[in-house]
A = this chain, B = another copy of it.
Amino acid sequence: MNETIELLQNHRSIRKLKDEPLSGDVIHTLVESAQMASTSSFVQAYSIIGVTDRPKKEKLAQLAGNQPYVAENGHFFVFCADFHRHIHAGEMEQTDVIPAIESAEKMIVAVTDAALAAQNCSIAAESMGLGICYIGGLRNNIEEVSELLQLPDYVIPLFGIAVGFPEAEPDRKPRLPLEGIYFENAYPAPDKHTEQLRAYNDTISAYYEERTAGARSDRWTQQVSGLLKDVKRPHMKQFLENKGYNRR
C-alpha cells in the first residue's frame, strides 16, 4: 500500500478545526490540485468561492444549520456547479448555448465536475496534514447562500468544505462491506441486499456501542431510515430550475 492509498483509506471528517487562516500559498495549491481533476469534455463546469470574510462565514455557519466549523476553520471553500462562464463563451462565439445548459444532462455534468474537483482539493489538504469536512448543510438555505455570495444564474452552491488543522481525531467509520457496493458484471438480486444490510447493521451497532460505552447502538438501516423519512430541502427542484438547471 503506497502513501497516497494509505491517505485515502485513512480519511475521516474533522468537525473541530483550528481557527487559524491557511496561507495564500496553501490555498493556491489546494485550488490548483482541484483544477487538475478530470472534467467532462474539458468544460470545467464549476467554480470555487473561498470565504474569508468573518461576518460572511458566521452567516454561512448559521444558514448551514448552526455548524460552528463553517465559521471556525483555516479556510472555507464553497464548490459550485457553474455554466455561467459558458454563456459568455457562447456570446463570444455567437452561439446559443442556453438550451443545452438547461438540460438535466448538463446538471449531472456540472455536479460531477464540481465533486471531482472538490475531492482533489480534500485529498490535497489531507496530504498536508489538514483536516476537512464537507458541508451539505449549505443547501438548507440555498437561496440565501447564493445571495450572500452574489452567485448569478447558472451557478449553484452545492456544498462547502471546511479545511484546517485538526483539533480532533475521530475514529474511522466502517463503510458498507465491499460486496455490498461492488458487483461484477450485473446488479445482484434483491435478497442479497437485505442479508448484507443485516450484517452491516451489526458492524455499525458494535462501532457505536464500543465508542459510547453501550449508550448508543444505532443500526445503519435505522440511521438512513430516520434521515429519509421526511423530504428534506424540498425547495431544491424549484431552485435548480430558477437558476437555469434541470429545465428540460
Contact = CB atoms under 8 A, between A and B. Distances in A.
Interface of A: 1-5, 7-11, 13, 28-29, 31-33, 35-38, 40-44, 46-53, 56, 82, 84-86, 88-90, 92-93, 95-97, 99-101, 103-106, 108-109, 111-112, 115-116, 118-120, 122-124, 127-128, 132-134, 136, 139, 149-152, 155, 158-159, 172-173, 175-176, 178, 180-187, 190, 193-194, 197-198, 219-234, 236-237, 240, 246, 248
A219 B15 CA distance: 43
Nearest to A229: B95
A198 B88 CA distance: 11
Nearest to A31: B182
B35 A175 contact: yes
Contact of A38 (B13, B46, B185, B222): B13
Contact of A237 (B176, B221, B223, B246): B246
Contact of A3 (B4, B84, B182): B4
A44 B174 CA distance: 11
Contacts of A151: 187
Contacts of A31: 178, 181-182
Nearest to A156: B108
A99 B9 contact: no
B11 A88 contact: no
Nearest to A46: B181
**Copies of this chain, how many?**
2
B13 A134 contact: no
A31 B179 CA distance: 10
B40 A100 contact: no
A36 B11 contact: yes
Contacts of A120: 8, 119, 123
Contacts of A46: 181
B190 A88 contact: yes
Contacts of A89: 197, 220-221, 224-225
A86 B224 contact: yes
A219 B88 CA distance: 13
A199 to B, nearest CB: 12
Contact of A231 (B100, B136, B183): B100
Contacts of A226: 95
Given A44-B176, A44-B181, A11 B37 contact: yes
